[in-house]
Structure 1
Amino acid sequence: MFPAAFTLLTPSKLSAFFPSSSSSPHSQHLLLHPNNATRLSIFSKPKLSLLLPRLSSTNGPDATSSSTSGIDAVESTSSGLGDGYVALFVRMLGLDYDPLDREQAIIALWKYSLGGKKCIDTIMQFPGCINLIANLLRSESSATCEAAAGLLRSISSVNLYRNSVADSGAIEEINRLLRQSSLATEVKEQSMGTLWNLSVDEKLCMRLAKSDILPLCIKYLDDEDMKVKEAAGGILANLALNRNNHDAMVEAGVIPKLVKFLISNSEGSKVIKKEARNALLELVKSDDYYRILVIEEGLVPVPLIGAAAYKSFTPRLHVWPTLPDGTEIEKTPGKNSKYGASELLLGLNIDDKNANIDEAKANAIIGRTQQQFLARIGAIEMEEKTVSESSNDQLLTLLPWRDGVARLVLILELEDKSAIVRSAESIAGACINEHMRIAFKEAGAIKDLVRLLYCDHNEVQFAVIQALERLSASNVVCRVIEAEGALHPLVSILKRSEIAGPVVEKALNIVARILDPSKEMQLKFYDGPVNGSEKMFDRTKSEVSAGLRSTEQAISETNLRNAILESGFISRLVEILKSSSPSLQEKAASVLEFVALADQTLASVISADIESGLNSVFQQKILKISADMESDVEEQFSEAYTIEFEEAGRAISAASRLMTRLLDNEQFQRKIDSSHFIGLLREILRSSVPLHHKDWVAACLVKLSFLSSSNTSNPINVEVTLYETIPRLLEQIKNSFSRETQENAVVELNRIVSEGVVDSSGAIISEGAIYPLVKLIEEGSERAVEASLAILYNLSMDSDNHSALVAAGAVPALRKIILAERPHWERALRLLRNLPT
């Protein structure tokens, strides 16, 4: 009998300690050496080689017989026996042991940890073991590093021990390990798996983000091993849960790396696709800019509405197919399929000579076919079936462009109002560029959105208007919106005074784009008959093939004229001019200008008290605030005021353009107070309104003063010259890339200066025009040089301007002209004599 301080290690006990080969990370098995059935004291320093032989890569009969007990045998052994062996192997991890023994010990503990939480608890009973495990990550042996990382991965899978793993320095060691140029795939897999487990904890995730692990995760997304990719994607998904990490993730280029797993069916496993989607969704939901970046890479955010909502989808059967945007396809006689396949499989029955389907239409056909098929068989949203229906209103998924666009259009055809709202909002958010707007047009979204304008559900109506407003930014799509008949319901909506401000703004924006007087199409909207029958927007065969209009949705010209010229609508527009924001005032003025072009009598406009509306626009609050404000306060809020001045300038410009049109009507001329409006426009001309918005102000002011019998035109012309013409010419001289434009501007400026317009020299000096004028005499054409020299000579007649001319480099430039005896050198000499040298 042995003393109590000794433990006999027998082959049967060791075989019961280790899990079977099926649960271990290796195919090797740990066996007792036949000559080492020896009594060992726990206080001695045994060699692990006395307990275990060197690991073998072969599976002999002894290895099989010694590993038959498996994990069940481990759980069935007494706790005392298991604790004793774990203590022994933990001791073998010490720095005073042979590296090979430490390797075998860590492998044994890793295998043992795979037995489950009970085994991990047993290992973690020994203080300091976690530090010894982390230290082994510095080993030069790949097997040791793999086992150490694998054991840390097992321990970190238990919530209770994650902080212990992090406090042991494992994060820093793994970070160092993963930066090695050549690293075994097994080591990378276990190391990344450990970090994945640690990233589940919110605090440890923040710690990981500060440890520069992000570039490594992005790097390993391109690794050849799928398990490494999955771990990298999982870490990134957990990092994305904290919005503080989003900026760093996007700057590191995570979006295109993750998108590639979702836009290709062959790229990656289900796990990496899921993690990539989760990470990208967090970015999409946190910031509109990140959403735009994701869409630009090829994905569209699509709401999850629940598979049950798609049961209301009823596709049209036994109907000759059309393109998604409604374009009809001509039937080809004699080539119909016996079983109707020509009607189901659109495109197979189109002759190659006549087929002209571009990529956008082809994607629309494929996307619609796939999504309708999934909806008909009830397989749509199957990947998200585990999500509870109660939370679907907050859920999104990401689909490739083609599928995402088709899915959003499909949702518009359902009966669920909340689903329609979310789809329309998603369409509005996805319209970030012309490509996406055209994609929705080809997919048939315009027809459904216009149909939903007649819905009496307020949320649906607002979401649809929001989508149409974003789509109408494209001139091509805007024409389709008009052709589908959107103008009539939009006008009806605007006539209702009880609708909310955001609805008014977006609806009016669409109407203003449709009725934009600057577009040739709109200027001809109410043209008379062509050849006695056809109108400007009568449907032709080519327009039908282009999908611009359809027979069922065409609205007659008479109905449109009545809707637009109806007094209630015009009164509503004038009301907007009186009491709305500058942005709405701009749109209302633009639509009223179109009305003025359509109805030369202007009876409805004049009767609506249009002069009060114009008076309100010309008296913007920002102009009064700017006049009374201290300079330091203005500088403090310069950015905000710049935006406000820009908006006010656009509204004033639109109102000035409208008033210029109205002044052609004699009744309007007699009704308004010309002197009052002249005063308002002169104040605007002298104000800080951006220069590019003063052109129509100047034109309206000149026309108004010319028609007014109580004012002479000369003072008005002087002010227009000083505050609009000269600044505009100087802007062209300084910033235009066209030599011809610069030349014409400087010649015109010379004409104004030579005519002796009062304060013209002061205006040139205040605008900082001396530098570009000096540059022109060096680089400009002979015509431009002559005009520039004449202007500079006039400026040199005032000695107060000499310092500015010298500072701009006029003296050396003039000397070059004189010494080279270039044309006009005599004029240059006279100018040089006026300057101090």
Structure 2
Amino acid sequence: MSLTTHPHFKFTFSIHKSLAEPSTARIKYLHNFSTFNSFNVKLRSVVTRVSSSSDSDSGGSFDDTVSQQVSDVEASSSPISGDSYIGLFIRMLGLDNDILDREQAVDALWKYSLGGKKCIDEIMKSPGSVILTVNLLKSDSSVACEAAAGLLRMISSVNIYRDLVAESGAIEEITSLLTQSSLTPEVKEQSLYVLANLSVDEKLRVQIANSDLLPLLIKFLDDEEMNVNEAAGGVLANLALSVTNHKVMVEAGVIPPLAKFLRTNSEGSKVIKKEAQSALLELAKDDYYKILLIEEGLVLVPLVGAAAYKSFRPSLHSWPSLPDGSELNVKQSIKGPSRFGASELLVGLHVEDDKNTKLEEAKKNAIVGRTQQQFLARIGAIEIEDENNKNHKFTILPWVDGVARMVLILELEDESAIAKAAESIADASISEHMRTSFKEAGAVKNLVRLIDHQSEPVKVAVICALERLSISNDVCQRIEAEGVLDPLIRSLKDLDVNGNSTHMILNILSRILDPSKEMKSKFYDGPVNGSRKGWNEARTSASSFTFSSETIREKDLSDSTFISRLVEILTTSSPVLQTKAASILEFLTTFESCREKITSLDIESALNTLFQQKFFNGKEDMEAEYDFQESELDTLEIEEAGLAVSAASRLLTRLLDSEHFQKNINASTLTDSLRKILTSKIPLQYKDWIAACLVKLSFISGPTKLGSENPINTEVMLYETIPRLIEQIKDNYSPESQETAVIELNRIISEGVVDSTRAVANQGGIFPLVKLIEDGNGRAVDAGLAILYNLSMDAENHPAILAAGAVPVLRRIVLSKSPQWERALNLLRTLPT
């Protein structure tokens, strides 16, 4: 960087990279130094002050030698001729000198250091200069602090001196300095740039990130001076280069203030935006932090290279349209469309501001984002700036632009670019807002089209994106409407049973072919439990929902190979895949042709294999092996197995409606397997369909196979009904629900079901019963007292009843002479009080 000074002198400076950015203070300093006469004045001022001081002390006159040296400096044709005075200035930094002398000396040294590395090397010939300069950061003078920080900034810009600056305590002194509330913007800027230079070193990054500086750096991002913002952003960008700093930076709250610089129409210079982008790109390498970034309204978009966009062929002279292809009703005030789509861009932007255009906000954003990105692609201005950044594979855009950019990439010919875009869509689809945005931007149609792509990486990425998008009920409908079933079924038939793509395809199919949707629709008629919203709260209202059984054609699903593959998955795969396959097969049973093919494929054997898993033992085996199972089986594994068994039981219950299936199965084997599962330790919520299926099987088996007494009903009571009623009493449902549960529980016990009282005690029912008696009234208290009385007949239950605080509660009832006082008195008499 060449700066012109005096007409007779030319200096060549090697300025640190961080100085290249324009700022008011920086321009002032360079201007001062570029005028050589001003430097001479500073030399004369300091030297004269020193000489005058010496003269007054000694009583002599001004040293002619010193005067001659100053004259020599003025006449010199090179700034390096002033090197002989550097030692003098450094000596003037000493603590025993007047503060004004020290201030002028450090200011002169700072300006001298702007001459580049040769000047800095000359200063560093006196190693103590760094420590003396660091000490000046404690000065009450803002001029001295600024000059000291500026000199340290220049010294730390040279690699070989960086450690010396850090070892001299610069980080600690700057930390103390920046905590002061009355600092000038110039002092802040110079101090922060010292930290920026030091944070180039990885070990110093860790020191800075784990100090009190991090909250200060985040605070300075909101400073009124843009130069301070840029300096703080530079430090944070460097800190983010070390993965070990990510956790502490995110916990300190660095993402929101950095993200604000990258949002649409945000305030800030290009410098701070690049620094914010650099820092966030490093943080986004962690999947969790990537989610935090998306929550701030930003998305990661893959960089595919400007050359890839050359294959983009939009329909020229077309006005913006809605994602479903219908025309947008906006006034076309422009007579003719432009070659590069500028007119379409203007119309798209017009939609955003047109209050008369009745469109949802998501549709408006989709139109605006798409027209902007297509315009950039047409004129060849897309990814121009980002191509220079070779260190990152992504860029960060506001979500409106980012969503539109990724959808645009799906329309290119580059296979690698398409795969990257699909993967990014999958990563960004973390919320209902983002999934809806992709749907409105037209992503679904393009993704469905690409399922049959010849490239395997493209197919896998596309299926992953559709799987994430299908989590939304609304988007799932759009995916189905775009004809996704045929390509998914074709793909499933060709894939490995236990492959990752198989899992994703089954997820999509199970959401489209969900047998519970129609049931929910039939019973949905308003708010649930006083809630203002119904079961489909975060998705769509039930009134507008279109169910799969009404829109899917039977011939699309009756493919024998497809059904055979589902049965194979039910037999050989993991519990997660078994759950999905069972759910899809249950849906298929609603079609007669599909049901016949399912029953002809030995579905009974597949179900038996699923039911006879190693940890579905009976109660005796479970008691003997309880410790082993607790140590060996992971909780997640038990949950997954419970889901698979529940889904398979639902499927079996549906198949039992077929008389042909009933006649050709071994009901006894299925019954034994389900009874073991019912009495096992799997979570209660998975036992409801097992119990229902067992009851249905018991009717098929009849008294000849099960004997005169049917033990299934008893087991269902003990292992499903009673635990469920106790949970209903425990979980503080509405008083009406608790009353219903306790009355039903009392009825079961009153009927003398074997071991029913023991089941209540074993399930922890005593404590919630006592609480219900204390807080309830009327019929609930009557039923609760009756149950507790039956439990008190067994002396083993007395300690639990007393521990639950039953005695004080019963005494209050007796003393209050309430309608239940006699029953409470009888119960008190049975207890050891």
1:707 to 700, 705, 710: 700
- Counting matched residue pairs gives 771
Alignment-derived partner of residue 188 in structure 1: 188
| Alpha-carbon distance, 1:672 to partner | 1.4
Distance 1:715 1:259 in 2: 64
* Secondary structure of 2:232's aligned partner: helix
| Alpha-carbon distance, 1:128 to partner | 1.6
Q: Partner amino acid for 1:619?
A: Q
Q: Is 1:569 matched with 2:569? A: no
- Spell out the pairing of 1:141-160 with structure 2 (5 A cutoff): 141-160=141-160
- Spell out the pairing of 1:734-745 with structure 2 (5 A cutoff): 734-745=730-741
* Secondary structure of 2:44's aligned partner: coil
Q: Partner amino acid for 1:467?
A: A
* Secondary structure of 1:688's aligned partner: coil
Q: Is 1:835 matched with 2:828? A: no
| Alpha-carbon distance, 1:634 to partner | 4.8
Q: Structure 2 unaligned segments of length 5 or more: list them.
A: 1-7, 14-28, 64-70, 523-543
Alignment-derived partner of residue 787 in structure 2: 791
Q: Is the 8 A contact 2:320 2:367 kept in 1?
A: no
- Spell out the pairing of 1:108-507 with structure 2 (5 A cutoff): 108-285=108-285, 287-319=286-318, 321-323=320-322, 325-329=323-327, 338-339=335-336, 345=347, 355-388=357-390, 395-498=393-496, 501-507=499-505
| Alpha-carbon distance, 1:522 to partner | 11
Q: Is 1:21 matched with 2:26? A: no
- Spell out the pairing of 1:636-651 with structure 2 (5 A cutoff): 636=631, 641-651=634-644
Q: Is 1:32 matched with 2:44? A: yes
Q: Is 1:807 matched with 2:819? A: no
Q: Partner amino acid for 1:726?
A: I
Tell me: CA distance 1:690–1:600, structure 2 relative to 1, closer, same or farther (3 Å).
farther
Alignment-derived partner of residue 661 in structure 2: 668
Alignment-derived partner of residue 749 in structure 1: 745
Q: Is the 8 A contact 2:55 2:62 kept in 1?
A: no
Distance 1:805 1:25 in 2: 96
1:436-482 per-residue CA deviation (whole Å, 9 max, x = no partner) reads 11000100000000000121211111111100000001110100000
Larger deviation, residues 136-145 vs 162-171: 136-145
| Alpha-carbon distance, 1:259 to partner | 0.5
- TM-score by length of structure 1 reads 0.86
Task: Tell me the percent identity.
Answer: 59
| Alpha-carbon distance, 1:428 to partner | 0.5
Alignment-derived partner of residue 534 in structure 1: none
| Alpha-carbon distance, 1:73 to partner | 2.6
* Aligned CA-pair RMSD: 3.6
Q: Partner amino acid for 1:221?
A: L
Q: Partner amino acid for 2:779?
A: R
Q: Is 1:510 matched with 2:508? A: yes
- TM-score by length of structure 2 reads 0.86
Distance 1:229 1:330 in 2: 42
Alignment-derived partner of residue 106 in structure 1: 106
| Alpha-carbon distance, 1:30 to partner | 1.4
1:577-600 per-residue CA deviation (whole Å, 9 max, x = no partner) reads 010011110010011001101227
| Alpha-carbon distance, 1:757 to partner | 0.9
Q: Partner amino acid for 2:650?
A: R
Tell me: CA distance 1:796–1:378, structure 2 relative to 1, closer, same or farther (3 Å).
same
Tell me: CA distance 1:67–1:203, structure 2 relative to 1, closer, same or farther (3 Å).
same
Q: Is the 8 A contact 1:774 1:808 kept in 2?
A: yes
* Secondary structure of 1:302's aligned partner: strand
* Secondary structure of 1:492's aligned partner: helix
1:597-637 per-residue CA deviation (whole Å, 9 max, x = no partner) reads 12277220111111121112212344469959865555556
* Secondary structure of 2:818's aligned partner: coil
- Spell out the pairing of 1:489-638 with structure 2 (5 A cutoff): 489-498=487-496, 501-520=499-518, 560-599=553-592, 602-623=595-616, 627=622, 634-636=629-631
Larger deviation, residues 240-249 vs 809-818: 240-249
Alignment-derived partner of residue 62 in structure 1: none
Q: Is the 8 A contact 1:773 1:788 kept in 2?
A: yes
1:654 to 647, 652, 659: 647
Q: Is the 8 A contact 2:617 2:680 kept in 1?
A: no
Tell me: CA distance 1:92–1:563, structure 2 relative to 1, closer, same or farther (3 Å).
same
Distance 1:240 1:74 in 2: 40
Tell me: CA distance 1:288–1:350, structure 2 relative to 1, closer, same or farther (3 Å).
closer
Alignment-derived partner of residue 775 in structure 2: 779
Larger deviation, residues 234-243 vs 647-656: 234-243
Distance 1:815 1:296 in 2: 56
Distance 1:407 1:69 in 2: 63
Larger deviation, residues 705-714 vs 474-483: 705-714
Distance 1:579 1:479 in 2: 30
Distance 2:700 2:630 in 1: 40
Q: Is the 8 A contact 1:326 1:547 kept in 2?
A: no
Tell me: CA distance 1:494–1:329, structure 2 relative to 1, closer, same or farther (3 Å).
same
Q: Is the 8 A contact 2:498 2:573 kept in 1?
A: no
| Alpha-carbon distance, 1:353 to partner | 9.8
* Secondary structure of 2:710's aligned partner: helix
Larger deviation, residues 31-40 vs 97-106: 31-40
* Secondary structure of 1:408's aligned partner: helix
Distance 1:485 1:522 in 2: 24
